[in-house]
Amino acid sequence: MARPINADPEQTKERILLAAIECFGNEGLRGTPLKNIAGEAKVTIATIHHYFGGKLGLFEAALEQGYEELTGLGAAIGLAASETDGTLEERIDVIARRALSFARGRQKASRFLLRAMLYESEAKERALRAQEQYVTTTSDALSLFVGRSAAELRVPVQ
């Protein structure tokens, strides 16, 4: 099957990534055949190989896309922190609810990243970097409430 006339390569890659996030999120890396992703994205397996080099390349690109989709989480937490009055417990409750609401609005990416982080060894290094970034963002936001430096609040991600 030839490439459709006037096909936009960026839109095609985006469709493939969105399909991969959904399929990998539902079935995992090993449980998802490329043919399922190709069918969902309405492309051929050869197209996936052309853009991503294969299943692992697609998985890694989907991880990056998923984390990119969730980059606003830090801003949402920071905004919640700056807008909230009350006790420390009330403030933390508002921040946690804002974070959950943010993730709920991005269910496919959240499901995919959670599954990848828990079950896919190929995702561990990228997940660790994301966790370190999250701890930094969270400790920065919490430092506003407790009167301690963010560095004091940070804990190593283990």
Average pLDDT per block of 10 residues along the chain, 158 residues long = 70 96 95 97 96 96 90 77 79 84 90 91 86 77 74 63
- Give residue 157's pLDDT: 45
Query: In this structure, what DSSP letter does residue 53 have?
Result: S
**What is the reported pLDDT for 3?**
58
Q: What is the dihedral of CA 38, 42, 46, 51, to 10 degrees?
A: -90
Q: Residue 5: what pLDDT?
A: 64
Which residues contact residue 96 at a Cβ distance below 8 angstroms, ignoring those fewer than 6 apart? Answer: none
The distance of Cα 108 from the centroid of its chain, to the nearest Å, equals 9
Helices 124-146, 107-119: axis angle to 10 degrees equals 110
For residues 113 and 128, what is the distance between their CA atoms, to the nearest angstrom?
12
The answer to whether 77 and 51 have CB atoms below 8 angstroms apart is no
Pair of tokens at residue 157: 């991600």
For the chain, first and last CA: distance in Å? 48
